[in-house]
Amino acid sequence: MVKRLKKDWPYLVLLLPGVVLTFIFSYMPIYGLVMAFQDYNPGLGFGRSPWIGFENFRFIFSQPQFVRSVYNTFYISIFKIIFGVSASVIFALMLNEIRNTIIKRIFQTIVYIPNFISWVIMAGILYGILASDGIVNNFLGFFGIGPIQFLSNSSVFPWTMVWTDVWKTFGFGTVVYLAAITSIDPGLYESAVIDGAGRFRQTISITLPMMGPIIMLMTVLALGTVLNAGFDQIYNLYSPAVYSTGDIIDTFVYRLGLQNGRFAIGTAVGMFKSVVSLVLISLSLLVAYKVADYKVF
């Protein structure tokens, strides 16, 4: 042990600052979860607030708004994953067909740009272009469609969230998938050409199957965070008119816990989310490891 310390001390010194800060800001809040089992009173603190067992949990499960937010979270998240992965894969395949590397890189750069724009700014932009007399509805008007209330019609709202998120984030997947395509052994294509396979056939029979593991991996990792349906996006775009289909767990916790000051109830909802997330992420990492041999560390 002493000998080990003698050898390892430089590593430990390097690790120290990060570990201290991470302990304070990521581990200490976990202690705050005791609130979920208390009738928490800020004046009394964690130490002296009365314990009430699972009362807070019983309360939230009896709330239709909570159950609704769980449903909405899954609904929005799952469609974001399905369409997001498909869009990234399809666009990567299309870019792959472009031979000119400079043009290819320019396209790749452009589709990545929306990733860097914050949801606050995106929301500002979307309010303009999705308005009843905004660009999108004007465009749809040419085809005799609309006007569609993208942000205030509760049956359209979840789809607006799905598609604006796909639009903002698919560029990231494209970069990853394109890199995966580049690393496919060119010999495979050569032998396919000898066998008489055309470009389309090569894409279907070689490129897609070779991308299988990475697509699987990205999807599984995304499924692990399925409970994060996009707080920044939804909070900045929703309104009471679309709570029925647009309110997600995170926005529910924020309104209930912080805006209405019901700390204990909000913590219970947050804890429910953390626990379910823990299970889902662990499962997804396990599947990623078994299927794609992916190890986080």
Partner 1 sequence: MDKMTQGQKLFRVFNYIICIAVCLICILPVINTLAISLSSPAQVATGKVAFWPRDFTTMSYEFAIENGRFLQAFFVTLQRCLLGVSINMFMLVTTAYPLSKSRQRFAARHFFMGFYVFTMLFGGGLIPYYILILQLGLLDSIWSLVLPLSVPVYSLIILMNFMRNLPAEMEEAAMMDGAGHFRILVSIYLPVLKPALATVGLFSFVFHWNDWFTGALFMNDPVNYPLQTYLQTLLINFRDLLRMSGSDYHRLLMRMNEQTGRAAQLFLSLIPTLVAYPFLQKHFAKGLVLGSVKG
Among 30, 67, 145, 204, binds partner 1 (CB under 8 A): 30
| Amino acid identity at 104 | K
Phi, psi of 51 (to 5 degrees): -85, 135
What CA–CA distance (Å, rounded) separates 260 from 249? 15
Among 76, 234, 271, 288, binds partner 1 (CB under 8 A): 271
Which three-class secondary structure string do you get for 53-110? Answer: CCHHHHHHHCCHHHHHHHHHHHHHHHHHHHHHHHHHHHHHHHHHCCCCHHHHHHHHHH
Nearer to partner 1, 138 or 205 (CB): 138
Among 41, 124, 185, 260, binds partner 1 (CB under 8 A): 124
- Binding of partner 1 by 116 (CB under 8 A): yes
For the CB of residue 247, give the shortest distance to partner 1 in the complex, in Å: 15
Tell me the sheet residues that pair with 51.
38
- Binding of partner 1 by 203 (CB under 8 A): no
For the CB of residue 98, give the shortest distance to partner 1 in the complex, in Å: 7
- Binding of partner 1 by 196 (CB under 8 A): no
- Binding of partner 1 by 143 (CB under 8 A): no
Find the part of the chain contacting partner 1 (CB under 8 A) among 49-57, 64-72, 77-85, 277-285.
277-285
Among 75, 167, 189, 289, binds partner 1 (CB under 8 A): 167
- Binding of partner 1 by 253 (CB under 8 A): yes
Find the part of the chain contacting partner 1 (CB under 8 A) among 31-39, 54-62, 68-76, 78-86.
31-39
Find the part of the chain contacting partner 1 (CB under 8 A) among 49-57, 67-75, 167-175, 205-213.
167-175
- Binding of partner 1 by 26 (CB under 8 A): yes
- Binding of partner 1 by 134 (CB under 8 A): yes
| x/- map, 34-73, partner 1, by CB under 8 A | -x--------------------------------------
Find the part of the chain contacting partner 1 (CB under 8 A) among 29-37, 56-64, 74-82, 204-212.
29-37
- Binding of partner 1 by 239 (CB under 8 A): yes
Residues 93-112 that bind partner 1 (CB under 8 A): 94-95, 97-99, 107-112
- Binding of partner 1 by 86 (CB under 8 A): no
- Binding of partner 1 by 205 (CB under 8 A): no
